[in-house]
């Protein structure tokens, strides 16, 4: 079995937390060899040709992916199993989930038609206390009064990792 890459971009850490949990499950429960990679300014992208399975995750700010994570989507992933996730405040609220999945995940990945992900998932996120009240959060609370500054769900992340582990370790 070839190696697995879990790559992610984060600002406040929730996407890192999800990426770390995913890699733990893949290593511990599926015996996969995993490299974790954080996208950062001026740091080179990992080389996709080294991996059999590639997971790409991004935080969402003002409706956008992290620049470096999105640039990575342009790479050649032919013959790889690709899975994509985002962490976004809207995705953690039931009422906003569908819209978040469509605008932050489906529409972004559709811009890169060479990518055929085996799975895509939108997770909730967390606006750190030090950033509250932030104008973005105040706007979100107007849209949905019950909007939570922390709507992460690590159980969801774990379940997705298990699903991926199965897909990565079986043919097809």
Ligand X SMILES: Cc1cc2nc3c(=O)[nH]c(=O)nc-3n(C[C@H](O)[C@H](O)[C@H](O)COP(=O)(O)O)c2cc1C
Question: Site residues (CB under 6 A) for ligand X?
Answer: 10-15, 59-63, 87-90, 100, 125-127, 131, 134, 136
β-pairing verdict for 119-123 and 3-9: unpaired
Structure tokens at 128: 């750190």
Closer to ligand X at the Cβ: 10 or 32? 10
Q: How far apart are CA 142 and CA 5, in angstroms?
A: 38
Residue 87 CB, nearest approach to ligand X (Å): 4
Closer to ligand X at the Cβ: 143 or 166? 143
- When CB distances to ligand X are compared, the closest residue is 125
Residue 142 CB, nearest approach to ligand X (Å): 14
Residue 36 CB, nearest approach to ligand X (Å): 14
**Among candidate residues 42, 98, 93, 32, the one with its CA nearest the CA of residue 67:** 42
Residue 11 CB, nearest approach to ligand X (Å): 3
β-pairing verdict for 51-61 and 64-65: antiparallel
Q: How far apart are CA 136 and CA 140, in angstroms?
A: 6
β-pairing verdict for 3-9 and 34-38: parallel
Q: How far apart are CA 103 and CA 42, in angstroms?
A: 27
Q: Are 65 and 108 in contact (CB under 8 A)?
A: yes
Closer to ligand X at the Cβ: 32 or 91? 91
Closer to ligand X at the Cβ: 19 or 54? 19
Closer to ligand X at the Cβ: 1 or 11? 11
Residue 136 CB, nearest approach to ligand X (Å): 4
The single-letter DSSP state of residue 46 is: P
């Amino acid at each position: 079995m070839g190696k697995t890459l879990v790559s992610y971009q984060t600002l406040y850490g929730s996407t890192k937390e999800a990426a770390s949990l995913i890699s733990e499950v893949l290593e511990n429960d599926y015996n996969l060899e995993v490299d974790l990679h954080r996208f950062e300014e001026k740091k080179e992208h990992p080389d996709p040709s080294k991996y059999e399975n590639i997971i790409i995750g991004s935080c969402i700010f003002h409706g956008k992916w992290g620049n470096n994570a999105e640039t990575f989507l342009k790479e050649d992933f032919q013959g790889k199993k690709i899975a994509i996730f985002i962490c976004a405040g809207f995705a953690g609220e039931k009422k906003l989930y569908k819209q978040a999945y469509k605008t932050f995940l489906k529409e972004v990945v559709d811009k890169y038609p060479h990518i055929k992900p085996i799975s895509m998932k939108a997770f909730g996120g967390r606006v750190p206390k030090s950033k509250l009240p932030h104008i973005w959060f105040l706007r979100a609370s107007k849209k949905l009064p019950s909007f939570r500054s922390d709507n992460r769900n690590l159980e969801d992340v774990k379940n997705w990792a298990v699903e991926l582990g199965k897909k990565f370790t079986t043919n097809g």
